[in-house]
Amino acid sequence: MWERARPLDRAAGLSRLGAADHLWHLLVHSVVTHPHRRGALRDVLLAAEAVRDCSPAQNEEVERRAAGHGLARALGDLLAMARETAAGGPARDRFRREAAANYLLSGPLGWLRFSRFWMSAFSGALFALLEGGADRRREWGLAWAAPQFPSPWGFAARLDRRAPRLGRLCRNAVKVPRLMVCRVVAWPVAVAVGVLAADDRRLRS
């Protein structure tokens, strides 16, 4: 990555990612890191600019990399939308279910925002159900994995510092049951999202 970095124009001493690395970062950031942003217009437009910046060989490299990922379908769909947009459009929306889920989360289910503890877990469970098996397995893996960042909760952060093994055990004991509860609650919402997305397709046909 460092070898492919490019000097930033009119900013001495600063560099930017190579074209293929930049496109890959945008795809992973909006598909893997932030599932609720899959198909968001802002991210599609940014990815389209990155596609234009890549050579045909670099675009093929990113396509191969996406095809080998556990979330290949979602990454490939976003890449396809970015390419269609970069070519002047129109781009076919491949993320209708995700859009419907975001409308529900910002409307009827907006009350969940009162709690960051529940909102982040519920959102992750919902989008994992929409994507399929690979996303659900990844979510379980994250629930069992060692924490990568300090806890935002004071007591848990102190416990992590003083007794890391006990801190991890306690955090897993919270994350795993929370995920199980969110999966159960998110299932009927995922069904409703599917109905909304299907109705939208019928209206447009």
The Cα-based distances of 40 to 54, 168, 194 in angstroms read 21, 34, 18
Bridge pairing between strands 15-16 and 6-7: antiparallel
Q: Cβ distance 176 to 143 under 8 Å?
A: yes
The Cα-based distances of 11 to 5, 6, 46, 185 in angstroms read 14, 11, 21, 50
Burial class (CB in 10 A: 0-12, 13-18, 19+), 42: exposed
pLDDT reported for residue 192: 86
pLDDT reported for residue 154: 65
Reported as a single tens digit per residue, the pLDDT across 47-98 is 999 999 999 999 999 999 999 998 999 999 999 999 999 999 789 999 999 9
Reported as a single tens digit per residue, the pLDDT across 96-151 is 999 989 888 888 877 776 677 778 888 888 888 888 777 778 877 777 676 666 66
* Annotated domain spans of the chain: 6-86, 96-204
Of 108, 101, 149, 110, nearest to 128 by C-alpha is: 101
Reported as a single tens digit per residue, the pLDDT across 148-198 is 666 666 656 666 666 667 766 777 777 888 888 888 888 988 888 888 887
For 15, phi and psi rounded to 5 degrees? -130, 160
